[in-house]
Structure 1
Amino acid sequence: MTTNERNTATLLHLSALTQYLFPLANYIIPTVIWSSKKENSTFIDQTGRRVMNFQLSILVYMFLLGIVGVFLVLGALINHGGEFTIDSDEIHIGNFMAQEWTAWFVTGIVSFVLLGILKFAEFVLIIYGAVKASNGLLYSYPLSIPFFKVDSIKEDEKMESSDETNLENHHQS
């Protein structure tokens, strides 16, 4: 495997961090890099598939957690609490200890906490994947939904040099 392949694969992982600079860049930039380089290297192709699977999976998980959190918290406040006021330094929620809606409210808050943990884990895993790629290893992100088919190469397995035989085997499958 060439240094250029390892660098491109590392860049593929790290390009997902552009989401912190521009909305949706974590989908656009990796897709552009992957699309332009996937024909040249099996390693880059498999890395791009894994990066995109992970980013799309995170999107699904964030969407679900966000929807659950918003509906549970707002539903609990509107339907059961009645009063929700914010004074100068205090927040008052009428009858907050009512058992019938406190569980819904707490569950909604927990979904927002899980969303924060998910974003932190995403950041750490992107860095970890980039380090693996820089060492010439494929990294399979946990909890990834297989939107794009990935080859059954074991995680942390070094890819062979992307010679013509390797590329031919990849394109035949």
Structure 2
Amino acid sequence: MDLQRLEKLNELREKGILTEQEYAEQKQKILDQPSHGLTEFVMQTNHYSMLMHLAQLCVFILPLLGWVVPLVMWLARNEDSTIDRHGKVIFNWILSVVLYGFIALLLTVIIIGFPMLLALVICSIAFTVLGAIKAKEGVIANYPLSIRFFRVDASESE
């Protein structure tokens, strides 16, 4: 869109309709305008990433739903590098929760597992909401306590 406007402006200059000064002024105005298409795309990606994080909360409705919904969302748009990195962060956490939950279930035999399960539920809710907030802001950050099953480069996330 901006490229078309610049090409049209250049044609007017070449035909002699615009002076060099008018051309430079108009060109600067076009270049100074924010690209709404890119801004909207980034906002859509951030919203989608946020919903992917929040989809984990479906686990409280139907246990497997909290894992299937983010997986389907991730696989549907994993060609976008931002969505792919958020998907890796989310599944690092999901796999970590499964591992921690299994260990906590084993430890319920000696009673310490019950408070661990409660702490795991609280952490899951808190980390999911914090991850969604960061995703909305465009930040890709690993959840605290999550094991890195999938590699998310430090240069890619904060």
Residues 92-113 of structure 1: CA deviation (Å, up to 9, x unaligned): xxxxxxxxxxxxxxxx222211
Matched residue, 2:62: 22
- Please report the TM-score for the alignment, with normalisation by the length of structure 2: 0.70
The structure whose Rg is larger is 2
Are 1:55 and 2:94 an aligned pair? yes
**2:106·2:113 contact (CA, 8 Å) conserved in 1?**
no
Q: Which has the higher contact order (CA 8 A, sep 6+)?
A: 1
Residues 149-172 of structure 1: CA deviation (Å, up to 9, x unaligned): 22223643xxxxxxxxxxxxxxxx
CA distance in 1 between counterparts of 2:141 and 2:148 reads: 14
CA distance in 2 between counterparts of 1:114 and 1:153 reads: 33
Residues 61 and 44 (structure 1 numbering): CA distance in 2 closer, same or farther, change over 3 Å?
same
CA distance in 2 between counterparts of 1:34 and 1:154 reads: 17
Amino acid in the other structure paired with 2:119 = I
Displacement after TM superposition at 1:126 (Å): 0.3
Amino acid in the other structure paired with 1:64 = I
Percent identical residues: 31
CA distance in 2 between counterparts of 1:42 and 1:132 reads: 16
CA distance in 2 between counterparts of 1:141 and 1:154 reads: 14
Structure 1 residues without counterparts, runs of 5 or longer: 73-107, 157-173
Structure 2 residues without counterparts, runs of 5 or longer: 1-40
Amino acid in the other structure paired with 1:147 = F
Amino acid in the other structure paired with 1:139 = A
1:147 to 146, 149, 154: 149
Amino acid in the other structure paired with 1:55 = I
Q: What is the aligned length?
A: 118
**2:59·2:66 contact (CA, 8 Å) conserved in 1?**
yes
Displacement after TM superposition at 1:8 (Å): 0.8
Displacement after TM superposition at 1:135 (Å): 0.6
CA distance in 2 between counterparts of 1:9 and 1:151 reads: 18
Query: Which aligned pairs between 1:69-84 and structure 2 lie closer than 5 A?
Result: 69=108, 72=109
Task: Please list every run of at least 4 consecutive aligned residues from structure 1 whose deviation after the TM superposition is greater than 3 angstroms.
Answer: none
Matched residue, 2:104: 65
Residues 62-95 of structure 1: CA deviation (Å, up to 9, x unaligned): 01110121xx3xxxxxxxxxxxxxxxxxxxxxxx
